[in-house]
Amino acid sequence: MLVASMMWGLMSPISKIVMASGAVSSLLLTNFRIIGAAIAFWIASAFVKQEHVPHQDMLKLFFAAMLAIILNQGAFVMGVSLTSPIDASIVTTTLPMIVMIISALYLREPITGLKVLGLLAGSAGALLLILSSTTAINSTNHSGNIWGDLLCLLAQCSYATYFVLFKGLIGKYSPLTLMKWMFTYAAIVIVPFSYNELTRLNLTQLTSNEVSGSVFVVLGATFFAYLLIPIGQRALRPTVACMYNYVQPIVASIVTIALGMDHFGIQKSIAVALVFLGVYLVTQSKSRAQMEIRIKEQNSQKIDSNN
- If you write DSSP's letter for every residue of 214-264 in order, what string do you get? HHIIIIIIIIIHHHHHHHHHHHS-HHHHHGGGGHHHHHHHHHHHHTTS---
Residues 20, 29: Cα–Cα separation, whole Å: 12
As a whole number, mean pLDDT of residues 264-272 equals: 76
Residues 284, 92: Cα–Cα separation, whole Å: 19
Question: How far does Cα 38 stand from its chain's mean position?
Answer: 18
Structure confidence at residue 136 (pLDDT)? 47
Q: Is the pLDDT of residue 170 over 80?
A: yes
Structure confidence at residue 296 (pLDDT)? 62
pLDDT band at 24 (very low <50, low <70, confident <90, very high): confident
Q: Are the C-beta atoms of residues 265 and 272 closer than 8 Å to each other?
A: no
Which position has the higher pLDDT, 136 or 250?
250
Structure confidence at residue 141 (pLDDT)? 45
**Per-residue model confidence as pLDDT tens digits over 58-100:** 999 999 999 999 998 888 878 877 887 667 767 777 777 788 7
Q: Is the pLDDT of residue 281 over 60?
A: yes
The phi and psi torsions of 289 (rounded to 5 degrees) equal: -65, -40
What is the domain range of residue 94?
2-306
Structure confidence at residue 38 (pLDDT)? 94
Q: Are the C-beta atoms of residues 89 and 249 closer than 8 Å to each other?
A: yes
H-state helical runs in the chain: 2-19, 26-45, 55-65, 72-82, 85-92, 95-106, 113-135, 146-165, 167-170, 175-200, 208-215, 225-235, 238-242, 247-258, 266-284, 288-306
Structure confidence at residue 185 (pLDDT)? 95
Structure confidence at residue 28 (pLDDT)? 86
Q: Is the pLDDT of residue 203 over 70?
A: yes
Domain count, the chain: 1
